[in-house]
Amino acid sequence: MAAAPSASCIFCQIARSTSTTLLHRDDKVVAFQDINPSAFRHYLVVPIEHIPTVKDLHRSSEDFSLVSHMLDVGQSLLHRDAPHAKHYRYGFHQPPFNSVNHLHLHCFALPFIPRWRAMKYMSLGPFGGFIEVDKLLERIKPLSSL
């Protein structure tokens, strides 16, 4: 399913680097700050395995538990670092709107700063755009667990 780690993939490099300041690392995912933050707190959670985009996720317990785990990590980091935020958002860009071809969960403690940055994270309905994590989890939830 997943391609081999690519030397040119920036997120594969971060996941394997020992020098990057990570907020979290376990055997499945790493988390770090977005280099160009769009909100009061803006973290990215990425799988260590090179999975290009949400289109490469399938309805399976493996993918469902990976994304659930990414969300758990993002939530606990934001609740730790931004406990007073009024709103949190979690989601993914769908191709062709994704910036890096390595799956990454955007985690926001809002407000967006500056406010127009919210535009980058809007759902465009049938055209794709940004997908909230619960919508994606619904899409890949294994049928046997319904």
Q: Which residues bind Zn ion (CB under 5 A)?
A: 9, 11-12, 50, 93, 99, 102
Q: How far is the CB of 20 from Zn ion (least distance, A)?
A: 14
Residues known to be catalytic:
106
Distances (CA, A) of 121 to 9, 19, 89, 116, 146: 22, 29, 10, 10, 29
Both tokens of residue 141?
């939830």
Q: Which of 117, 115, 121, 110 is nearest to 41 (CA)?
A: 110
Secondary structure letter of residue 94 according to DSSP: P
User: In the complex with Zn ion, which residue's Cβ is closer, 49 or 142?
Assistant: 49
User: In the complex with Zn ion, which residue's Cβ is closer, 9 or 23?
Assistant: 9
Q: How far is the CB of 145 from Zn ion (least distance, A)?
A: 28
User: In the complex with Zn ion, which residue's Cβ is closer, 45 or 82?
Assistant: 45
